């Protein structure tokens, strides 16, 4: 059985009932939605209220930096306290690929949310794009745990994140032909890896370029099991245990 630790689910993209059924058929029995803007959070709240195996992390993505206010962060805190199925803060972080003219503002929003996670004693989900070193330098100041979502950096950096207490989030990119991520993942221990799709983005091979879905997790598992030379079942057991431990899911049921 598998956990998709990071997906964005919206009624605009999926028939949620059917999606959940297809996931179950593929052994993907637990989903963690990433609600990372107001619309995503509100839609996610409806979904987690309805489906027993679906949880959510909430936080403001760096692309939301210009519209996010301190009141919005108060709202996040209130939601966490009211809703048992919110299991973490994220995705939050730095994105110097899409938005680079507001780095200082991004850092400020990021750190405010890290402080919130500290206060609420919650794990975090990190988005970092073209900001690897800086993300690391900031995270080093806090004693938090979480996932480096959609990891794409070097092996050395992955090891540093693991030392800090983070899991390496692995998704569809691993299945791409000539993916450099394969060399990195080969050297990592399964105890440090969590599975994710980042649906509807980054669909794995052979669906590359199409709309992604949490039901495709087994395609990532297949590649991972070959690289690590272990059974797919073993990949499932280890990565599921990692997700349940990090998010303390049994406490949030």
Residues found near Ni ion in the complex (CB under 5 A): 34, 198
Signed CA dihedral, 1, 234, 170, 194: sign only: positive
Cβ-closest position to Ni ion = 198
- Least separation in angstroms between residue 57's CB and Ni ion is 10
| Shortest distance in whole angstroms from residue 95 CB to Ni ion | 11
Between 200 and 236, CB nearer to Ni ion = 200
Based on CB atoms, which residue is closest to Ni ion, 4 or 198?
198
**Residue ranges in the chain assigned as alpha helix (H):** 16-25, 38-50, 70-82, 103-120, 132-139, 155-164, 181-186, 217-228, 232-247
Minimum distance between the CB of residue 199 and Ni ion, rounded to whole angstroms? Answer: 9
Nearest distance, CB of residue 234 and Ni ion, angstroms: 27
Residue 62 C-beta: closest distance to Ni ion, Å = 11
Question: 207-245 burial by CB neighbour count: b if 16+ within 10 A, else e?
Answer: eeeeebbbbbbbbbbebbbebbeeeeeebbebbbebbee
Cβ nearer to Ni ion, comparing 175 with 212: 212
Query: Closest CB to Ni ion among 36 and 45?
Result: 36
Residue 164: CB atoms within 10 A of its CB come to 16
Concatenated DSSP letters of 58-108? E---GGGTTT--HHHHHHHHHHHHH-TTEEEEEEEEEETTT--TTHHHHHH
Whole-number minimum distance, CB 192 to Ni ion, in Å? 20
Cβ atoms of 216 and 25 within 8 Å: the answer is no
Q: Is 18 exposed, middle or buried (0-12, 13-18, 19+ CB in 10 A)?
A: exposed
Nearer to Ni ion (CB atom), residue 56 or residue 227: 56
Nearer to Ni ion, 170 or 227 (CB): 170
């Amino acid at each position: 059985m598998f956990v998709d630790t990071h997906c964005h689910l919206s009624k605009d993209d999926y028939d949620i009932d059917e999606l959940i059924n297809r996931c179950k058929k593929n052994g993907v029995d637990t989903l963690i939605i990433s609600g990372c803007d107001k619309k995503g959070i509100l839609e996610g709240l409806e979904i987690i209220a309805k489906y027993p195996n679906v949880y959510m992390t909430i936080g403001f993505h760096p692309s939301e930096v210009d519209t996010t206010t301190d009141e919005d962060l108060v709202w996040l805190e209130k939601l966490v306290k009211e809703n048992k199925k919110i299991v973490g803060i994220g995705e939050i972080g730095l994105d110097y690929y899409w938005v680079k003219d507001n780095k200082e503002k991004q850092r400020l929003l990021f750190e405010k949310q890290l402080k919130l996670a500290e206060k609420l004693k919650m794990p975090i989900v990190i988005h970092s794009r073209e900001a690897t070193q800086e993300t690391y330098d900031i995270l080093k100041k806090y004693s938090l745990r979480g996932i480096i979502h959609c990891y794409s950096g070097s092996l050395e950096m992955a090891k540093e994140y693991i030392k800090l207490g983070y899991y390496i989030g692995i998704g569809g990119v691993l299945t791409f032909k000539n993916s450099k991520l394969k060399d990195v993942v080969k050297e990592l221990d399964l105890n440090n890896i969590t599975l994710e799709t980042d649906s509807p983005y980054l669909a794995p091979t052979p669906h590359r370029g199409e709309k992604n879905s949490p039901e495709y997790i087994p395609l990532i598992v297949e590649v991972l099991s070959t690289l690590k030379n272990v059974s797919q079942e073993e990949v499932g057991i280890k990565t599921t245990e990692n997700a349940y431990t990090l998010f303390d899911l049994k406490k949030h049921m």
